[in-house]
Structure 1
Amino acid sequence: MVAENMQRMEKQDEEFKPVFENALKKAATTALVGAYETTTSTLMVFFLAMVLYPDIQKRAQAVIDSVIGKNQLPTFEDRASLPYIDAVLRETLRWQPIAPLGAPHATSSADVYNDYFIPKGATVMSNTWAISRDEKRYPDACIFMPERFLDVNGALTDDDPAKYIFGLGRRRCPGQYTADASVWAAIVTMLATLDISSAKDDNGKVINFTPRFTTGLERHPVPFPCNISTRPHIHSELLDVVRTAV
């Protein structure tokens, strides 16, 4: 975004360049600040899910290996061929929403909803947690189950948690599509290259733990024990590609 707009600025009259430069700085800063905590928290939820549900990780890796192979990394062009990975992403967003009460909004005019009067200027919160844990919509909602977003043919359903996780209405997160692409790229790359498993003590016994989360408008898992290693077939050339991308 910054590079493209810098190129556009070169074509502008000198008198307008400071205005565009100032706007670009603010936009870039907003994008960075808005994505830093939320993206990190979402990926921490993903890591936690992979530790607690190893069979999901194995299935996702098997799907990637069968579609992409083991000698190259997935790209955005492969996304349509990997619906199960998108299902993992959707379940990551739904299972432990990082903004359980969404972002506060204010009503622009008075309204009545289900016989409740809502005055103009009232602060309104969308209960994302309640939506994501609705047992009628998501049976066994506390369980990480990507298959709930796939139909009998293995295709993605129309139920996408991004429709409420990123907010509602005109004031929903403007970085939704960037965040979606970023998290998908991180998840599919880590699944293709890493094995994420439970940590073990010096005697080789699995270290059991109870997941805990921070509190507040934004939440994420507190540090938990886990083991991260490269998958056996990953060679140095592929790791170089990952480091370059990062």
Structure 2
Amino acid sequence: MPRRLDILSGGAAQGLVGRLQADFERKHDCRIGGSFGAVGLMKDKLVAGEPCDVLILSDALIKGLVAEGRADASSVQALGGVKTGVAVKQGRAAVAIRNVDDLRALLASAPAIYFPDPVKATAGIHFQKVLQALGLADDASRLRTFPNGATAMAALAQAPEPDAVGCTQVTEILITQGVRLTGLLPAPHELTTVYTAAVVKGAREPELARALVAALAAPEAADVRRECGFE
């Protein structure tokens, strides 16, 4: 029976893992399983004892888990930065977001705004603050929140409102059929999150886990990382 490698990953890395998974599984005669979602929730799963060999979380969370003795410091590899973007439904004309006024106008006119968990998800936490700064956080009837960016974008793709918009990390927008990236959050509200991979202390498959981290961060995978939205 093939070995199993379990990962707990932020949703931002789902597309990257998916692109490399088949080749890695074939090369190492293994199967990759696990969960993708809000980074805070993934940390909670690890702390609660869910099986995990590899973590892919925000750099800040990985550093904290290393300090707590939950992740192997010698295995840590940065995968790159991911910007936070704005999405519209596929088929809608692109909307330029050149500055804060453009962003405010787009969000103010949207009948519904889709974004990830404002408590556990990196992009959701940040975007909730953006809405507050723009004076748009009080109209709860327009706000649609979901456990992570991928589910938020999937819901946007199926939204009945043709002019609905969404916000999450660009990696999650790019992998979702039915939505398109229309722009990035402008200054001073821009957000770039660095994602980092690490092997869990006490991993059941430590060498295999190190091989996966190396494959994700390898120079040979640089083009794939860029195509998936990593910088």
- Report the TM-score when normalising by structure 2: 0.24
Higher strand share: 2
Structure whose CA Rg is larger = 1
Higher helix share: 1
Q: Which has the higher contact order (CA 8 A, sep 6+)?
A: 2
